[in-house]
Structure 1
Amino acid sequence: MRFSVYQESHIGGRKVNQDRMGYSFTRDSILLLLADGMGGHIMGEMAAAIAMQTIGNLFQQQAHPMIGRPERFMEDSFLAAHQEIHRYRAINNLPETPRTTIVACLIQNGYAYWAHCGDSRLYWMRQGQILLRTKDHSRLETLIAQGKVDPAERHTHPDRNKLFNCLGAPNAPIVELSRRAVLQPGDLLLLCSDGLWSVLPDHMLAQRLHDHTIVRAVPELIRSAVDIAGKQSDNVTALAMMWEGDDRMDNSTIISTNTLPIGSVTTTIQAPVDAEMEVTDGDVFNDAEIEKAIAEIRNAIHKSSRITSKN
């Protein structure tokens, strides 16, 4: 496999960055992950970190060097993360469960599979055009689909931040799975939080990523979103990958996995440690403290949904 990847996050105008992103890859499989902790509930950054590390750890356990059943992996790992967030709440006797949106993409054998809960998005682009993007699990998108709200109201409608699907809600999430996508060399996959897509229009995202390398385009898009939103800016996070397939191209930014041994994993998702940290009112968590909060993974499979406010 040959690909380029770049990720960046900005705190915006918030006191805490509740977004998390990262990727892992073996010789034959890549996992891209992005989570956006929900600020309308306590400790969203903790929910995002738990989700990232739970799903990332499962990938490292099962990708030898590929995931056997990609769709099943997506669903099971999301539900495992949901259960782990609830276990964290129970251990620490919190008044409510932290919550997060999540989007993930798994790439192997030239195919991409993605899944999401909430309004963190994935865009699949080719030659400056958006082939597909995920549909937000929001009250507003439901109203638009029903023809009750004009799509032009996406950025101003009062229900734009009301989500009916996330990890950490009282009921288990609905994991929306994509169809299998056949990637071509030059295809782009962008995962981003609503701090980016709610400020910049889709055509700008596609055009900027088409005109520039991802290493240049992603920071420019993030800066643009923060500048436009100003002091009210949400956390802004993006993770982009350009697929090169197996073509031989002389480019120092391209990662080639062909020489990686079976069993090796490269990751920017920090591995969990076995610790159960107690929390007290008013705690603010840094990345080191978040690392201490992750414990053994326990699976749970349920299906339901609930309206919940994100901000």
Structure 2
Amino acid sequence: MMPLHVEIALLSDRGGRNYNEDACGHWQSERQLCCVLADGAGGHGGGDVASKLVVQGVVSHFARQPSQNGAALGELLRSTNQQLRAEREPGTEREDMHSTAVSLVLDLASGQVHWAHVGDSRLYWFRAARLLQRTQDHSLVQTLVDAGLLDEAQMNSHPKRSELRSAMGLPDEDLEVSCGDGMQAAQPGDVFLLCTDGLWEYLDAEVLERSLAAAPSQQAWLDTLAAEVRRRTAHKNSHDNFTALTVWVGAA
């Protein structure tokens, strides 16, 4: 297989909130790309501290010891969770900070892909502008969908869509981490999207596919997604931060 080349674009918007609790970043060597995105919670500034700690923790751990599969990346998230909990300070804004996390690793030589996540920030994998795979949220509404009690199309508007089963900051024994390895290698033309719930809540898979197919560039695609979120939240006084990181794959 020919080596892969990647292009990365970022979008982060505080939406209708006073400050942005989302964070994202990436690390790349000649062989591997690691991307991570986090959505913090905790109030009074604790959320933005938590999300930054998660991104910095995952990137620094990975740079020291790159993961080779989803299970190893999941353990890296658990190590980062211990680091986040160690940074808590009773009586301050850091007392009860939590964060979601989603991380993607792409081997640029083999095309192998693996990922891990906690919470409801998502990874989408597109091929030929059609959704190939996405992560499943650790949330109440995802549990209802899995049990056949709720249709997936109803997830975005459910009143309890923000209730999480798992988040970074929980004790190790309560932390639910999901990880995966791609059933096939990434190919030139594939697109990955990591995003927070502030984005996917307003944009279903059909909107993502249609806008991706029409986009002349990755930044144009993100601009379109941002404009659509703003349009759909124009009636709200306060809507969530929204953040996206996209990776477009080509041949080196």
**More moved, 225-234 vs 7-16:** 225-234
**Structural RMSD (CA):** 2.0
Contact 1:113 / 1:179 at 8 angstroms: preserved in 2?
A: yes
Residue 53 of structure 1 and its aligned partner are, at CA, apart by: 0.4
Q: Which amino acid aligns with 2:21?
A: Q
Residue 125 of structure 1: aligned partner: 126
- Tell me the distance in 2 between the aligned counterparts of 1:241 and 1:89: 33
Residue 29 of structure 1 and its aligned partner are, at CA, apart by: 0.2
Contact 2:122 / 2:135 at 8 angstroms: preserved in 1?
A: yes
Residue 26 of structure 1 and its aligned partner are, at CA, apart by: 0.3
- Tell me the distance in 2 between the aligned counterparts of 1:200 and 1:69: 32
Q: What is the correspondence of 1:124-163 to structure 2 with a 5 Å cutoff?
A: 124-163=125-164
Q: Deviations over 1:132-164 (max 9, x none)?
A: 111111111111111122333212322211100
- Tell me the distance in 2 between the aligned counterparts of 1:25 and 1:104: 13
Residue 234 of structure 1: aligned partner: 240
Greater C-alpha Rg = 1
- Tell me the distance in 2 between the aligned counterparts of 1:88 and 1:127: 43
Residue 177 of structure 1 and its aligned partner are, at CA, apart by: 0.7
Query: Cα–Cα, structure 1 residues 128 and 21, in superposed 2: closer, same or farther, change >3 Å?
Result: same
Residue 175 of structure 2: aligned partner: 173
- Tell me the distance in 1 between the aligned counterparts of 2:47 and 2:130: 33
**More moved, 101-110 vs 203-212:** 203-212
2:222 to 218, 222, 239: 218
Question: TM-score, normalised to structure 2's length?
Answer: 0.89
Number of residues of Structure 1 aligned to a counterpart in Structure 2? 242
Q: What is the correspondence of 1:6-85 to structure 2 with a 5 Å cutoff?
A: 6-38=9-41, 43-62=46-65, 67=66, 69-85=68-84
Residue 117 of structure 1 and its aligned partner are, at CA, apart by: 0.5
Residue 173 of structure 1 and its aligned partner are, at CA, apart by: 1.9
Query: Cα–Cα, structure 1 residues 74 and 95, in superposed 2: closer, same or farther, change >3 Å?
Result: closer
Contact 1:226 / 1:233 at 8 angstroms: preserved in 2?
A: no
SS at match of 1:89: coil
Question: TM-score, normalised to structure 1's length?
Answer: 0.73
Query: Cα–Cα, structure 1 residues 221 and 68, in superposed 2: closer, same or farther, change >3 Å?
Result: closer
Residue 89 of structure 1: aligned partner: 88
Query: Cα–Cα, structure 1 residues 73 and 204, in superposed 2: closer, same or farther, change >3 Å?
Result: same
Contact 2:116 / 2:179 at 8 angstroms: preserved in 1?
A: yes
Residue 185 of structure 1 and its aligned partner are, at CA, apart by: 0.8
Q: Deviations over 1:52-85 (max 9, x none)?
A: 00111112212xxxx3633343122211111111
**More moved, 133-142 vs 81-90:** 81-90
- Tell me the distance in 2 between the aligned counterparts of 1:58 and 1:102: 14
**More moved, 95-104 vs 125-134:** 95-104
- Tell me the distance in 1 between the aligned counterparts of 2:117 and 2:221: 24
Residue 185 of structure 1: aligned partner: 188
Contact 1:48 / 1:101 at 8 angstroms: preserved in 2?
A: yes
Unaligned runs of 5+ in 2: none
Contact 2:69 / 2:181 at 8 angstroms: preserved in 1?
A: no
Q: Which amino acid aligns with 2:170?
A: A
Unaligned runs of 5+ in 1: 247-311
Q: Deviations over 1:12-58 (max 9, x none)?
A: 00011000011110001001111011256861111111110011111
Identical pairs, percent: 31
SS at match of 1:6: strand
1:196 to 182, 194, 199: 199
